[in-house]
Amino acid sequence: MSLTNETHTPSLRSWVESANVCNADFPIQNLPFGRYRFVGSDEGFKIGVAIGDQILDLHGAGLIDSHDMNALMALDAGERLHLRRAISQGLAHGSSKQQAWSKLVTPQCESEMAVPCQIGDYTDFYTGIHHATSVGKLFRPDLPLMPNYKWVPIGYHGRASSIRVSGQTFRRPQGQTKAPDAAQPSFGSSRRVDYELELGYFVGRGNELGQPVSIEGAEDHFFGVTLLNDWSARDIQAWEYQPLGPFLSKNFASTISPWLVTTEALAPFRAPFVRPDCDPQPLPYLDSEFNRKAGVLDITLEVLVQTQRMAESGIAPERLTLGGARTAAYWTAAQLIAHHTVNGCNLQSGDLLGSGTLSGPVQNEAGSLLELTEGGKKPIRLTSGEQRTFLEDGDTLILRGWCERPGATRIGLGEARGTVLPHEV
């Protein structure tokens, strides 16, 4: 079983020199899709491919005939591969396209990015078993992991309208909260604004209502990934979440990275899906040979924070977490797609599935402040001298992700950055 081809060859170089720099996020082996325009312009967003620190205009290059990313995402696997090969060949060192295409590249620093596609529906899952266990302990010490967790991929329908691209700022949300010892709830600004380190899985081709996607076919409907910060107001969440799950604690903002890193680009970074012997094996509709051999994505994830004071003093963002999706997720993207559609529910091109918070097995790999500070009890000390239990006004959170493996060229996911503003601006 080989998922890789000549577009992944490590010796491949591009005539865009910045793509050949060691540890670049966007070498020619990556080729992620995004939507961009010149900063400050009011023209429509175009579809581009990131290459080094530049963006190639795909329509200008004659490789696509519209500016509709959702249509591009709905291409079948063969058409997607054909497009990837054409982009790779044209950007490769020595290509006959160099002279024409060099007029079609724009520096990323002169570009403004949009959310990469129209996101019709957003479902957030809860596949991070270490996150589910430690948060469960805080909310329900007697029953940290619910009895269904190891059988059903848990999720809820989220809100797509408040998902924005990296660079998002939002006002601290207000809402109802209730302290455990208070007789009744009070209304005001959330005092427990947190982040959640997640991957966003984008749906490519959709399925008809009433026609489930089998686990064997699920990979064909999986287009690619972004970084996803599912901002969460923990005090609002604690009071509202039962019995129907999160609502206003989650839908005030969600931030994604601008580049859709495709499953084709991720092919060299697949890993086996393994369940511990003591855990139940997935039911047959969530199990396939391919999923067992290669269902997992081996992506390294990082979270950094830069407080307002750090930014004003020129202090670089400080790392809060370094961990991996591989050890954190209890279910694969293909299992989420198969499960989501098993009742006949229709997914559409551009739908977003959140992985859930991808915390590693140890404390310093936690993907939220709720876990890092043990529910706000143990503040984090930053090298600036400040400390944090939850996010304060002016704090900027940065998610980063990348894949590296011997014999493959490292690729990156870019970053998802967002800033909490005071309630009153």
| Site residues (vs Mn ion, CB under 5 A) | 124, 196, 230
Q: Is 174 within 8 Å of 423 (Cβ atoms)?
A: yes
Q: How far is the CB of 124 from Mn ion (least distance, A)?
A: 5
Q: How far is the CB of 163 from Mn ion (least distance, A)?
A: 12
Place of tokens 């982009």: 87
Q: Report the residue number, 230 or 264, with the smaller CB distance to Mn ion.
A: 230
Residue nearest to Mn ion (CB): 230
Q: Report the residue number, 74 or 199, with the smaller CB distance to Mn ion.
A: 199
Q: How far is the CB of 22 from Mn ion (least distance, A)?
A: 34
Q: How far is the CB of 423 from Mn ion (least distance, A)?
A: 22
Q: Report the residue number, 196 or 395, with the smaller CB distance to Mn ion.
A: 196
Q: How far is the CB of 320 from Mn ion (least distance, A)?
A: 17
Q: Report the residue number, 166 or 357, with the smaller CB distance to Mn ion.
A: 357
Q: Report the residue number, 26 or 125, with the smaller CB distance to Mn ion.
A: 125
Q: How far is the CB of 126 from Mn ion (least distance, A)?
A: 7
**Which residues are marked as active site?**
131
Q: Report the residue number, 26 or 122, with the smaller CB distance to Mn ion.
A: 122
Strands 254-256, 163-165: pairing is: parallel
Q: Give the CA angle between residues 133, 139, 142 to the nearest 5°.
A: 75
